[in-house]
Structure 1
Amino acid sequence: MKDLTKYRNIGIFAHVDAGKTTTTERILKLTGKIHKLGEVHDGAATTDFMEQEQERGITIQSAATSCFWKEHQFNIIDTPGHVDFTIEVYRSLKVLDGGIGVFCGSGGVEPQSETNWRYANDSKVARLIYVNKLDRIGADFYKVVEQVEKILAAKPLVMTLPIGTENDFVGVVDVLNRQAWIWDDSGNPDNYEIQDVPADMVDKVEEYREALIETAVEQDDALMEKYLEGEELTIDEIKACIRKGTRDLAFFPTYCGSSFKNKGVQLVLDGVVDYLPNPTEVNPQPETDEEGNETGNYAIVDPEKPLRALAFKIMDDRFGALTFTRIYSGTLKKGDTILNTATGKTERIGRMVEMHANSREEIDTAQAGDIIAIVGMKNVQTGHTLCDPNKPATLEAMVFPDPVISIAIAPKTKGGNEKMGVALSKMVQEDPSFQVETDQESGETIIKGMGELHLDIKVDILKRTYGVEVEVGKPQVAYRESITKAVNDSYTHKKQSGGSGQFGKIDYTIEPGEPGSGFVFESKVTGGNVPREFWPAVQKGFEQSIDKGVLAGFPCVDLKVTLNDGGFHPVDSSAIAFEIAAKSGYRQTLPKAGPQILEPIMKVDVFTPDDYVGDVIGDLNRRRGMIEGQESGATGIRIKAKVPLSEMFGYIGDLRTMTSGRGQFSMEFSHYEPCPKNVADEVIKEAKERAEAK
């Protein structure tokens, strides 16, 4: 049995360029010293490796790396940098028990870090704050602390203060212990001395220490009384309060340093051990049914309970596909058979590995609280639940909205097709909200996703990660068609040409169905005018036709067909004759049924500082948006609106211009609704032009 109180599953998240990579690098370097596999050759392995890795953002090619600090095992999970409406961020935050938010000492709280912070708040992840790059020109620790309060509306609990700034930054003061850590200029993190607090900082340290204790004791009434009566509290008593407040998100312990110069990182690691929760202290994951409704059961962190695990990231590397998995309850052994609740299939567990700072360790068993990688899983995607086949449960239903935007892509080089195909199939596995198909008529490869930015990022990944340069077509909106009125009609298909002919007559009603009902077919034929064995053929004929509407060739939705009567010939009637009758009937009747174009409407959530609200709302109205409400947060206003997708192309650029770069937005599909006539005419015209071009 492992001691779970010695585990910390943490993520490091930051704005681009705040130093996430370097900080992760330094943590691995510091913790690698006490790596149980022996010494890391200092600087030889990790740093050289870094140059090529800088783009990718984490030193070691893995989504989760284990390392050790003061007898505690840290599992550091790489959180995605792009939070642009990907499901990934939520998945990654879900498997974290705590995190470190890294902010740049001169850049402060930047838009991307605001977004990350909001996501982490939504997922209720406890965090430490680390203000990095204090050696940089313009760095100002106190200014960043103030921004955290103002922009993030968070309460920083200052644990360390910088000694000197910019070029004169030499170390930090540990406020609680009243100790100064001073590093020399060698850049070696271990070359430090612990000294008395510099004389010119004594008053400041006392002021911050008092504020720290006053905030901390609010977590414990008995200690608060003791403190107010003037008694001195022990360090352990204060730490217990900080630990509780951090776990409850009442405040965030805040540290400072320079990862690049190797100053201050040790205290952050101590903070992870002292204040971030272990797996047993976090609220357990709720279990759900396939639809995503909670069942009232929870995956309790206990190795004896039935197995519950979540695949949260899939990565390809030179050893094959790695499925990174967080085990919430139970125990997983090599050779076990597990059930994937998303596919309903079982798989045997072959190799399991734990990623260590500079190597992989094969393991035979893993248990609740662990984060491991399973090698060579076949049908697992991001977000699938792996569980005990005898006691199945789902941790989180995989509900992916249908893609609303598509673009055609083609490789720039002749031989690029095969390479592109391989890359795309890997990408679909990693991100289930991304889809790929081939257009039957033109042979083009179409990629589909949740928005413009989503597909931009995919094209970028193709280029950078897989080395495939592609030409990108114009974005296409996934329109639909429907009808507005019921029509009774009749169609007779007959063909006579020597030998047996074809005959099928149908009388039917086509009418609009309930929204979301799809295609519904029923037969009211009595007395055998259309024999029962031909009904499926009639249904098939209509069902195959609805893929193409009569206005612009988009799929037709929410249609009900009722077969009322008809006629048949004892020799010439066949299933195929009735199927053809249905297909021809569809083409004959649909134009009479008031066909219309439907467009996807998006739920748009825009975040803007107060000063720009008027401009943002005016712009959304121009985009045919319906404003549904606005709520003011500590850092600005969130505007909720429903806007047609076709009006949202290029929105991020316009929003940044309107809000001096501080606006953020996310959008997801809401529903389909009829287009205004002028928009519909334009869509139909474009569809005709495309058809002619082919």
Structure 2
Amino acid sequence: MKATSHNLPRDKVRNIGIIAHVDAGKTTTSERILFYTGENHRMGEVHDGRATMDFDPQEVKRGITINSAATTVFWRDHKINLIDTPGHIDFNIEVNRSLRVLDGAVVVFDGVAGVEPQTETNWRLADKYHVPRIAFINKLDRTGADFSRAVDMIRERLGATPAVLHVPIGAEGEFRGVVDVLRRQALLWPSDKADRPVEITAVPAELVERMEAARAVLLELIVEQDDAALAEYLEGREPSIEALQACLRRGTIAGAFVPVLAGSAFKNRGIEPLLDAVVDDLPSPDDVASDIGDDAGAPLAALVFKLIADEHGQLSFVRVYRGTLRVGDTVLNATTDKRERVSRLYEIHADKRREIDAVEAGGIAAIVGVKDAATGDTLCDPAHRIVLEQIAAPEPVIDIAIEPKTQADQQHLAHGLQALLREDPSLHMRYDAESGQTILSGMGELQLEVKLEDLRARHGVEVITGKPQVAYRETVTRSTTVRHLHRKQSGGPGQYAEVELSVEPLERGAGVQFESRVVGGAVPREFIPAVEAGVNNAVRMGVISGHPVVDVKVTLLDGSHHERDSSAMAFEIAAATAFRSAMRQAAPVVLEPVMGVEVTTPTDHVGDVIGDLNRRRGTIRAQEARGNAAVIDAQVPLQEMFGYIGQLRALTSGRAQFTMQFDHYAPAPATLQKQLIAA
């Protein structure tokens, strides 16, 4: 008899993610959660390659999380579906698609560094998907750790309101526990050993005043969530702990504030209260508003948010929003209008699978048998078609040319690339007709390096690669309107299509938008999709430099057709030609990706680092002290950042480090524009 994933009521289910900047201790926190919940009997460590959640060979080799990994644990009679996500910016699509389907998140902060660039990016994604959060200030045992400063950074850099639940006991190497501000008690971990239970004791005398001050701020913040609790508090009577906890939960779910906890995952301190907060403060599926209903007995609606291809076929991870998904069901992929059969269902624990027979609304599971699904597709009851909001993938900023090493590799390359593209929507591929090369585009050098290794290890394809290149884009800076007639006559049926297109610039990040304002049948309705297809073809190829076009709106205003000679192909050709002509008349420019760069350096090297960034066309946005180091926040064109790590190490005797992530596209300098257009 197979297990079923709906053996607990939904109010006892938590779907959460662990998110953080790289090296904040996210996977270590996940490993401790597995141990304390009894899922693992020994703890894996990232540094020794034995972390349960980092099971991919490349994760073991590199010591970082590359793929989001799912597992299910139980705490205080609650079921927690947990997804551990990567911290490196190159794999941010994993965070994006995980947050799309999760109800809550634990954001892990490095107690020394505080809020780091990738933390900000992930925080904005959580804002976008309205995901309630708990903040866990980790690594408080490290030299330079500062809990209060990390809390201030959450307030100042993330624009969030911290609800501070803990006061650390001890600092840096002497960190040994926390004060539970709400319950006025101390939680002490007498040793680093995970099998030693937490001790609940009286609050140390030297921390009572600090605790009471923090508690007064906390209570004023949370009682606003309930009129009765607020009235009681204003009358000078303190609401019960149960009432205050209910206020804390309500405000967290509403996004009014973010509970902040303290700990050191590596030293096994703070995990039990973190799990308690997940259960007490983060939402169940019942707490999350849904505009489609969430009844388990209603027609099915589920979202595919991740794909894995292995030797057994495609594994599709889904979040069920409505209805119940069962083994043997025939479902409609509302995105592709294809019907598919669910042959098997699994509850996933990292690289292990437990077969189940059904998953209800609010649950997360993996399907085998749905062959044509892609990330962001909706699976639904065939009789009740519905399309859920898709998952938007970021635009790639770096290209690499690849070609098969041998003729045998040529045959397998297309298959391997298609598998990679299905798994990772932030990867793009195009064929360069001039060079005859396949161009693979991604978010960074590390991502492309990992994917090429996947091609070799998983698909047996060896490739030759060119140097990484910047993924430039084209756009327009003014509006224009063009009318174009495509007419061809050569013996048989002719070709006739006339279109009038307007092209206008959009704000950065808006993409390409198409609209038809044709009235009266000047362009028959059945040919309008062909006009859009022609525009999209031209967009992909570019016009002035061969790079894809972004941030333009194209409007079909008018046109004409011929009863016999008009066809979809004729309108596609006419639209592509008209678009290219309009682009050239609309003051086109080439855009280059500009990166947000944060450099952490010893203070005696600040001048050298800033001078080097300026030489790279960088703009310094801010500089601040962080412990005994300086942190420089800059914007630098990606073109100037290749090989930066070597130069930075040389400038600082290997003592500085940096992080980089895409910030925005901006017009390239005039000299670079000319080079790119002439190339």
Give the TM-score normalised by structure 1: 0.70
Does structure 1 conserve the Cα–Cα contact (< 8 Å) formed by 2:154 and 2:162? yes
CA drift at 1:56:
7.4
1:345 aligns with 2:345: no
For residues 470 and 387 of structure 1, the distance between their equivalents in structure 2, rounded to whole angstroms, comes to 42
Does structure 1 conserve the Cα–Cα contact (< 8 Å) formed by 2:68 and 2:86? no
**Alignment counterpart, residue 462 of structure 1, candidates 434, 437, 452:** 452
- Give a deviation string over 1:204-230, Cα, whole Å, max 9, x none: 222222222221111112212212222
**Which residue in 2 is equivalent to 1:177?**
183
CA drift at 1:65:
1.1
For residues 44 and 509 of structure 1, the distance between their equivalents in structure 2, rounded to whole angstroms, comes to 65
**Alignment counterpart, residue 280 of structure 2, candidates 264, 274, 278:** 274
CA drift at 1:605:
9.6
CA drift at 1:456:
6.0
**Which residue in 2 is equivalent to 1:123?**
129
For residues 59 and 406 of structure 1, the distance between their equivalents in structure 2, rounded to whole angstroms, comes to 23
**Which residue in 2 is equivalent to 1:371?**
364
CA drift at 1:471:
1.7
Which stretch shifts more, 258-267 or 169-178?
Answer: 169-178
SS at 1:462 equivalent:
helix
1:104 aligns with 2:93: no
For residues 444 and 287 of structure 2, the distance between their equivalents in structure 1, rounded to whole angstroms, comes to 35
* Unmatched tracts of structure 2, length 5 or more: 1-5, 504-513, 523-530, 599-609, 619-634, 649-656
CA drift at 1:462:
2.0
SS at 2:50 equivalent:
helix
**Alignment counterpart, residue 466 of structure 2, candidates 472, 479, 484:** 472
Alignment of 1:354-503 (within 5 A): 354-356=347-349, 359-397=352-390, 407-410=400-403, 417=410, 420-439=413-432, 442-448=435-441, 453=443, 457-463=447-453, 466-467=456-457, 470-473=464-467, 474-475=469-470, 477=472
SS at 1:218 equivalent:
helix
**Which residue in 2 is equivalent to 1:227?**
233
SS at 1:259 equivalent:
coil
**Which residue in 1 is equivalent to 2:627?**
none
* Unmatched tracts of structure 1, length 5 or more: 285-297, 494-502, 525-538, 567-574, 610-614, 624-640, 642-646, 687-694
Give RMSD over aligned pairs.
5.2
For residues 230 and 104 of structure 2, the distance between their equivalents in structure 1, rounded to whole angstroms, comes to 26
**Which residue in 1 is equivalent to 2:211?**
205
For residues 177 and 373 of structure 2, the distance between their equivalents in structure 1, rounded to whole angstroms, comes to 47
For 1:251, the aligned partner's letter is F
SS at 2:87 equivalent:
coil
For 1:472, the aligned partner's letter is G
Alignment of 1:545-560 (within 5 A): none
Alignment of 1:515-554 (within 5 A): 515=503
**Which residue in 2 is equivalent to 1:321?**
314
CA drift at 1:107:
1.1
**Which residue in 2 is equivalent to 1:627?**
none
Q: Over alpha carbons, which structure has the higher Rg?
A: 1
Which stretch shifts more, 166-175 or 75-84?
Answer: 75-84
**Which residue in 2 is equivalent to 1:151?**
157
CA drift at 1:650:
2.5
CA drift at 1:684:
5.9
For residues 263 and 392 of structure 2, the distance between their equivalents in structure 1, rounded to whole angstroms, comes to 42
CA drift at 1:152:
1.5
**Which residue in 1 is equivalent to 2:18?**
12
For 2:368, the aligned partner's letter is V
For residues 356 and 565 of structure 1, the distance between their equivalents in structure 2, rounded to whole angstroms, comes to 61
Distance 1:422 1:219, change over 3 A: same
1:165 aligns with 2:166: no
1:650 aligns with 2:639: yes
Does structure 2 conserve the Cα–Cα contact (< 8 Å) formed by 1:172 and 1:182? yes
Distance 1:55 1:249, change over 3 A: farther
Which stretch shifts more, 319-328 or 265-274?
Answer: 319-328
Give the TM-score normalised by structure 2: 0.72
Distance 1:605 1:118, change over 3 A: farther
For residues 669 and 207 of structure 2, the distance between their equivalents in structure 1, rounded to whole angstroms, comes to 67
SS at 1:447 equivalent:
strand
For residues 84 and 59 of structure 1, the distance between their equivalents in structure 2, rounded to whole angstroms, comes to 11
For residues 246 and 201 of structure 1, the distance between their equivalents in structure 2, rounded to whole angstroms, comes to 26
For 2:202, the aligned partner's letter is D
Does structure 1 conserve the Cα–Cα contact (< 8 Å) formed by 2:96 and 2:125? yes
For residues 220 and 125 of structure 2, the distance between their equivalents in structure 1, rounded to whole angstroms, comes to 29
**Alignment counterpart, residue 259 of structure 1, candidates 261, 265, 271:** 265
CA drift at 1:648:
5.9
**Which residue in 1 is equivalent to 2:141?**
135
**Which residue in 2 is equivalent to 1:305?**
298
SS at 1:314 equivalent:
strand
For residues 44 and 124 of structure 2, the distance between their equivalents in structure 1, rounded to whole angstroms, comes to 38
Aligned residues: 588
For residues 565 and 230 of structure 1, the distance between their equivalents in structure 2, rounded to whole angstroms, comes to 84
CA drift at 1:508:
8.1
**Which residue in 2 is equivalent to 1:23?**
29
For residues 283 and 59 of structure 1, the distance between their equivalents in structure 2, rounded to whole angstroms, comes to 31
Does structure 1 conserve the Cα–Cα contact (< 8 Å) formed by 2:590 and 2:673? no
CA drift at 1:371:
0.3
Which stretch shifts more, 102-111 or 473-482?
Answer: 473-482
For residues 555 and 174 of structure 1, the distance between their equivalents in structure 2, rounded to whole angstroms, comes to 54
Distance 1:602 1:676, change over 3 A: closer
CA drift at 1:81:
3.0
- Give a deviation string over 1:472-493, Cα, whole Å, max 9, x none: 2545657699998778999886
**Which residue in 2 is equivalent to 1:49?**
50
For residues 199 and 97 of structure 1, the distance between their equivalents in structure 2, rounded to whole angstroms, comes to 39
For 1:429, the aligned partner's letter is R
